[in-house]
Structure 1
Amino acid sequence: MAKKKAQKDAASSLRGVANVEEARAWVAARGIEELECVVPDQAGVARGKIMPASKFFNSPAMNLPSSIFHQTIAGEYPDEDMPGAGDPADADLVLVPDFSTLCVVPWANDPTAQLIHDCYHRDGRPIEVAPRQLLRRIVELYAHKGWRAMVAPEIEFYLVKPNTDPDYPLEPPVGRSGRPETGRQSYSISAVNEFDDLFEDIYDFSEAQGLEIDTLIHEEGAAQMEINLRHGDPLQLADQVFMFKRTIREAALVHNIYATFMAKPIAGQPGSAMHIHQSVVDSEGQNIFSDEHGKPTPEFFNFIAGQQKYLPSVMCILAPYVNSYRRLTKDATAPINVAWGYDNRTTGLRVPPAGAEARRVENRVPSSDANPYLAIAASLACGYLGMQEGLQPTEPVEGSAHGLDYDLPRGLLEAVSNLEENEALRGIFGETFVQTYAAIKRGEYETFMRVISPWEREFLLLNV
């Protein structure tokens, strides 16, 4: 009787069940015909298989080639002789479903559900380079100390006209007024209302998947938006960002608009970030950044100092593409260093105004193009190392930090070298992950170098 009640309760859930029996009941209750079995790759792209629901429940273990975690964003692979290039035999990985992520695919034509999977070796070991597994690894470091990390991501993105020729610049889309935005409309309600139908679809799609949006605002750029998520468990929030990106893109396509999470999609406009609010609680749910009197604790300052010391070494994760570094310039609103301050949006690390129970550190460095699993893992790893090493931060900055020197690498190759040379981070992430990720990023850089840019044609064609 208890088993039947559990299955009935699970069948009514919008998102997530406990096991395969409950999943079977959930799928049957909705008449689901197909299941998307999804794995987030190094870029945060959804890889996997689509299969009939009946086959999913009746088939043996599912497999994918190990190369899915070695593919560049351009669909290429690092040279086989490079460290971290992957298994030359491209052996299969074993996929294991995480039934807590089961939800519908609301934009599908036929009744369809999606389910995020984890990847393992055939002997049961987790795949070391899988982004979801890396985040679990960092979360477990906190758990061994009796702590739970908490995060709340904020994701910025642009709406743009459909662009089928990459040689042409992106442009803002036309809203209900019949005119595209020309100026910046920070926090404008009317600018959001230009795309009311689109945002209604985003909210409807999100609700159908059990995803919770905290707020939606218009950001600084023309047709640049931001969605904020509620704070919670790092893995669950990374799953939500992963699914939100897909949801926003799909909703935009319904309205013949592109949604892009490029860090710097339009010249002369602000870049797009993925700010990560971070705090840590103990086994009783008390924020360890505040003491019994509501004052900041040593751990709070240690966490900030860890971010200051180690964020420059994880920049190839937080800013993973050549384009990402176009956002991090002195003439932009993005941070260029790891200074910190109280309620200071010019610093890389901001302490928002909040009560003692909500004391947190906002990492404003990551760009919106970052893989959410890897970015959250990297950011939390930096804070963890600061607490482990008892580091002390610099003095908080008052006023603008944009006049200060660069603390962050200026380009992708420098950022990759920073990660490879940092022993503490290699120890936390594992040598296999660092080698693999570095090989992918260098491969992407080589692809970029094969493209001749408009700048080169403009200033070099007839002048050199």
Structure 2
Amino acid sequence: MAHAPSDSLSTDESLLAEVRTFLAAHPDTVYVDGLFFDLCCVVRGKRYPVADADDLFVKGMQIPESIALLDVTGDCNDPLGRGFSDGDPDCVAMPIPGTLAVIPWGDVPSAQVMLTLRAQDGSPALVDPRTVLDRVEARLRADGLFPRVAMELEFYLIDPERGAGGAPRPPISPVTRRRDLRTQVYGMADLDDFQVVLRAIEHACLLQGVPAFTASSEFAPGQFEINLKHVDSALRAADHALLLRRVVEWVAERHGFEATFMAKPYPHHAGNGMHVHMSLADAAGVNLFDDGTDAGSAVLRHAVGGMAAAMAESMAVFAPNANSYRRFAPNLYVPVNASWGINNRSVAFRVPAGDGGGRRIEHRVPGADANPYLVLAAILAAAHHGIARTLDPGPAVHGNACEQVDRTIPWTWRRALEALGTGRILRPALTEAYVDLYKATKWTEMEKFQAVIAPHEYDWYL
């Protein structure tokens, strides 16, 4: 098994050759979009006429560094003096080799290339979530631990016409012309009803190099899950997850729907999770989590021990906004404690059944609204911590682990941000500077959110 190295970001002949080969194969291309994903997963960048594409690939894109630290409303809140206070300096967004792809949903033939942010001296930019993950993954590789990762994302298709108070409504079936009110997990009828849009998502993923391979209906009307294939790079796995989000949102809109990865759009239906499947191999590609048993190796258990130890301080990453915490409640197949188990979906860290070569941990805590780069950085840093310290996760749970809520874990946004700020595992791994910037950005967003009076507050208290 060949392990993918950390990205080598040259701007010389290799990148120019890539774009020229691509344009020769797609001569009708009018624009090339350079894009990256910020802290809140919003896609940002610039659009280049194809005649000017060489400038992007040779020089990169000058763009304000603070763009990577905008809150979910798009505001720059000057976190720790980055923005207004420091004169809002530019960084350089550079194309990532191998990410140039067709945009299949637009009316004008266009392409896109993913970018990573660099300081003016060429070093990785502190503010880029992709840099955070790259640094964590490099630390594991330096210790002979090579991640193999796949992600599963849940989402809802919803009606573009909102209900009372702006609430979402389930979509109208293109087949029956009736609003979808069924809750049939793994039901094939739902896949049949929405097969046109799901097929279009599959086709777009293929054109964009996103390795999506299965879709299933989930626990609520209009809810689906798409699985991504395992890859030997956490960076690429996170790239795939974010590109999948982009594909789903755009294709849904083109078919008369909206798509949402909001953690809990309906109060009485299942939330949207981001399940992370992760194993670690040695330099020869041997799965270090496999020892021939269903429970997995001591290395697997130490990794689980680290994940459990870091869960409290990781919640602000796994659940990045106020709505995220509505997803966590007893008996909803959502973790409410730091438990682990074998072939048990009620735990936080599940060891799925299957052959030993595929032995892995399924981390079930993050919501689909979280940033995949930061989620994987937190998970890998926690696993590395547990392995380095041979942490014991305790006995595997048999039966239902979803009944007992662990109150030492922060289940509110404020407590989670406080735990992240004082944590001892993620701060050194993700760097104290980035953790502080993340906390400052999200803390201001939280205060803005809490300053808005919701309609029911008047109903209850006026």
Bucket of the pairwise TM-score, normalised by the shorter protein:
over 0.9
CA apart distance, 1:443? 1.3
Contact 2:35 2:115 in 1 (8 A): yes
Partner deviation per Cα, 1:277-305 (whole Å, 9 max, x = no partner): 11000111100112378873221110010
Partner deviation per Cα, 1:20-52 (whole Å, 9 max, x = no partner): 212212123201221100011101111110011
Identity between Structure 1 and Structure 2 (%): 32
Q: How many residues align?
A: 444
The residue that corresponds to 1:287 in the other structure is: 287
The residue that corresponds to 2:447 in the other structure is: 446
Unaligned runs of 5+ in 1: 1-16
The residue that corresponds to 1:6 in the other structure is: none
Amino acid at match of 1:460: Y
Contact 1:83 1:435 in 2 (8 A): no
Q: Work out which of the residue numbers 42, 48, 52 in structure 2 matches 1:51.
A: 48
The TM-score with structure 1 as length reference comes to 0.92
CA distance in 1, matches of 2:103, 2:258: 19
Amino acid at match of 1:439: A
Change (3 A) 1:83 1:312: farther
Amino acid at match of 1:441: K
Alignment partner of 1:146 is 2:144 = yes
The residue that corresponds to 1:382 in the other structure is: 382
Contact 1:20 1:99 in 2 (8 A): no
Relative to structure 2, which stretch is displaced further, 293-302 or 147-156?
293-302
Contact 2:331 2:403 in 1 (8 A): no
Contact 1:150 1:231 in 2 (8 A): yes
CA distance in 1, matches of 2:430, 2:181: 44
Contact 1:84 1:439 in 2 (8 A): no
CA apart distance, 1:387? 0.5
Change (3 A) 1:236 1:451: same
CA distance in 1, matches of 2:293, 2:193: 47
The residue that corresponds to 1:246 in the other structure is: 246
The residue that corresponds to 1:26 in the other structure is: 22
The residue that corresponds to 2:218 in the other structure is: 219
What are the equivalent positions in structure 2 for 1:30-429 lying under 5 Å apart? Answer: 30-31=26-27, 32-58=29-55, 60-79=59-78, 82=80, 88-163=86-161, 167-175=165-173, 176-232=175-231, 233-291=233-291, 296-330=296-330, 332-406=332-406, 407-429=408-430
Amino acid at match of 2:33: E
Contact 1:18 1:100 in 2 (8 A): no
Contact 1:160 1:172 in 2 (8 A): yes
Amino acid at match of 2:152: E
Contact 1:23 1:99 in 2 (8 A): no
CA apart distance, 1:424? 2.8
- What secondary structure, in the 3-state scheme, does the structure 2 residue paired with 1:19 have? helix
Contact 1:70 1:86 in 2 (8 A): no
The TM-score with structure 2 as length reference comes to 0.92
CA apart distance, 1:342? 0.8
- What secondary structure, in the 3-state scheme, does the structure 1 residue paired with 2:256 have? coil
- What secondary structure, in the 3-state scheme, does the structure 1 residue paired with 2:166 have? coil
Contact 2:67 2:76 in 1 (8 A): no
CA distance in 2, matches of 1:72, 1:327: 21
CA distance in 2, matches of 1:151, 1:87: 39
Contact 2:32 2:49 in 1 (8 A): yes
CA apart distance, 1:331? 5.4
Relative to structure 2, which stretch is displaced further, 261-270 or 210-219?
210-219
Amino acid at match of 1:47: R
Amino acid at match of 1:358: G
Amino acid at match of 1:108: G
